[in-house]
Chain A
Amino acid sequence: MRAVLGGAAMVTVVISALILFVLFRGAIDFFRSIGWDFGILVDDSAAPGWFPRRERFDLLTIVLGSIVMGLLAMIVAVPLGLGTAVYLSEYAPPRVRRIVKPAVEVLAGIPSVIVGYFALKFIAPNIVDPIFSPDQPRNMLVAGMAIGVLVVPIMASICEDALRAVPMSLREASFGVGARKSTTTVRVVLPAAVSGIVAAFIIATSRAIGETMVAAMAGGRDGSGPRVLSPLEPGLTMTAAMTNAAGGTDQVKAGAPFQVLFFVGLLLFVLTMSLNMIADRVVRKYRQKY
């Protein structure tokens, strides 16, 4: 039994190592085929962009795309997620909590492709188009908002854990000097839970940046595009750039346009792993002992 379980653990570790190995190998192949010319990664032409099949690899295009959509996602996810968490932890009667909490968990279980369709069929026509009338129905705002919806559950659930970990005795101390419930929440409970809330934010950001399906479906670009900043423009994330090139009519199979995806993957991996490590550090450093 012990050997079987140990073997399972071992296989998991080996798989992680293999993924890293494949990413590194691909990335090195890419740099070989561009002759270690790092200048190619920042396009300083008049119309910079990510056009891998024309061997134009402006990293800034897809990194900015990821950042813009990640920011938009967090603008949606922070108020909704933190608000849900505060409501569930501080205000909801047990009866309501028993309904709302599973509902939030259901949202967490919805496959992202469905959220992608939700973006195209609801967020774009009913929210973004009437308010902002963008040129294209698919754009970074639509995708960013949908990614935000997708990361609300993780934001809500980690924040709620942090809030519920604040001992009741602190709330009572605040009530005991005549503080209102809202004051107690803002002045005592939220500050005491700040490390968990910051960690939730970082982990949710990491998820948002790693989200692929929604960014590819609703972002509005198929594997290539110019460098843009405006949320109302179609845009390309690192993840969408990778997935569009991996299948379908835009598929690329070899050479630098193919190998660059491994480099982007490695970058994405390093980015999300750093965020998770920062979150871990924040929790450790600022953990309250109450």
Chain B
Amino acid sequence: MKTIPLTIEDPFRKKTYRWGRPLHEETGLVSRLFFGLILFLFAVLSIAPLVWVTLSSFKTTQEFQMNRLGLPDLWFFQNYPQAWQIGNMGTLIVNSIFYTTVSTMAVILLSMAAAFAFAKIKSKATPVLYGSFVIGILLTIQSIMVPLFLMANAVNLLDTRLGVLIPYTGLGLPIGVYLCTEYIKGIHDSIIESARIDGAGYFRILAKIVFPMAKPVISTLAILNVLTVWNEFMLINILVSREALKSLPVGIMKFSSTLSSDYGKQFAALVIGMLPLLLFYLAFRNKITEGVSAGAIKG
């Protein structure tokens, strides 16, 4: 039976912009109130701390102690250059960008190559190899942390950029290989076969046909990896102790202990620290939410 969607034209609807105005006439008042209240409250609570820390970062520490909730009486911008300098924020941000981009590119290249072979070239090795990648998705990083530390120490990779990039790339592979393999399986065999008949080698096919066709999954993977690597703390915290190699999350810990009573600078540092990823999010928010839900469900 075909149902005709009920749309009642409400002449006032286009003019009213009150919050919480129902678009579905059939939703009851009680449920609307219930859902509306939770939605509104949670949205406010989501940004209130961020607004608060931003406002507070423009107060001097003295002013903050007198006035913890309100707007700054006097907008004090000096916290920012000071926090930038004390925290070495420039170096931290550059390092984070470096670790994130290089490891993400490496994960994409290696995952796509392996995934193409797993999905489109028949081999008896595939179930075992592919299976071992899929198991890796459930891995907890703690269970390899001590070995990685000992291994890095044994081959003199502690406190080097390479010593961070290698594990970061390796840890991105399970989800990467999985997402790419499942995606490439969906590409028709006939496309690849006809390219083979035309005399193209596998690497050519990968570069010229599979890569362009896999753009959606590549962007999902890139987003997941950028978010993970940028925020990763536990591993890099033990692999790196030199100031010049620290990433943003490790470096900003300084503001938790030594400077915790110098509120103005602490707040400015926190704002600087969250700004890069917030901008990334606001620029690509639809892609990011898509990527996160796709990655989560499959992982």
To the question of whether A and B form a pair in one complex, the answer is no
Give residues in A with beta carbon < 8 Å to B: none
